[in-house]
Amino acid sequence: MRKTGFIGLGHLGGAMAKRLVSEGLDLVVWNRTVEKAEDLGVEVAASPAEVANNADIVFLNLFDSGAVRSVLIGPGGLLEGDVAGKLFVDTTTNHFVDVLGFYEACSKKGCSYLEAPVLGSVIPASQGNLVILVSGETTAFERARPFLDRLGKNIFFLGDKTLANRMKLVNNLVLGTFMAVIAEATVLGERSGIQKETVLDILAAGAGNSGVMNAKKERILKEDFTTHFSAALIYKDLHYLQDLARALRVPLFTGAVTKEIFALTFRENKEPLDMSVVYEVIKAGHGM
């Protein structure tokens, strides 16, 4: 039985890889920081090209489109390997323009590329409960489906190229905005003299009730900003979203403001932390 490839073992990618191992798949992996592969107990390749040589389907989960481009077509990249007939499933949140180049590069080498950005973070990934958005050829999607079913509980096939990444950016407009609003509302409640736990309980029972609140309430309460989805990632996604709005020639109101709120995490050197750290940054801005 051929191995399944996986490239990119960050917080989310690592959780996804572990999920596939727990489902009985035999993985061959590659990551720039080799140490991140040590606890998987699987074969570690010397390069992306080596992963391509040993797997018929390869998953990618990387920081941005620049990282995908490097892994795909850079020195030692996937496309330098034996890729004829292979399938690359890219779960990275990419720039909607860049993915067109990835499709083309793979097509020229006789292999297939599939967009499959995911909604959800470390915990749903470890449980196989991600939401997965997919674009590309129907035949490629059907080939990837048995693997995607191990990672996600809701899978949406959107068909045309770039739609999956466009929708992921639209989703993250809601994600980032909810996170920033919850953080600011909590700080304002505290400034008004109400205990943080009480503020969060009231928001969770009222207008703040949401998946974002459910996922981040305890993090804000305990001020535990261990990274599941970093502030740097949501900032990047909102920047891509601004490019999408510009391409569509429409304004972007809440997304533009929210992106600049998360930009504050860079000033405080907190961008590698979980996006919920925006609470701490806003709180500091209030002199608390």
- In sequence order, the β-bridge partners of residue 154 are 131
Tokens of 69: 């481009």
Classify residue 124 by its DSSP letter: H
Amino acid at 262: F
User: Quick check: 281 and 263 in contact, CB under 8 A?
Assistant: no
Tell me the residue type at 96: F
Tell which phi-psi region holds residue 253, choosing left (phi > 0), alpha (psi between -120 and 50) or beta.
Answer: alpha
Rounded Cα gap, residues 55 and 27, in angstroms: 8
| Residues 229, 276: Cα–Cα separation, whole Å | 9
The catalytically annotated residue of 3, 36, 161, 168 is 168
Q: Let me know if 86 is a catalytic residue.
A: no
Residue 149 token pair: 């079913």
Measure the CA–CA gap between 275 and 279, rounded to whole angstroms.
Answer: 9
Name the packing angle between helices 163-191 and 231-248 (round to 10°): 120
Q: Which residues are catalytic?
A: 168
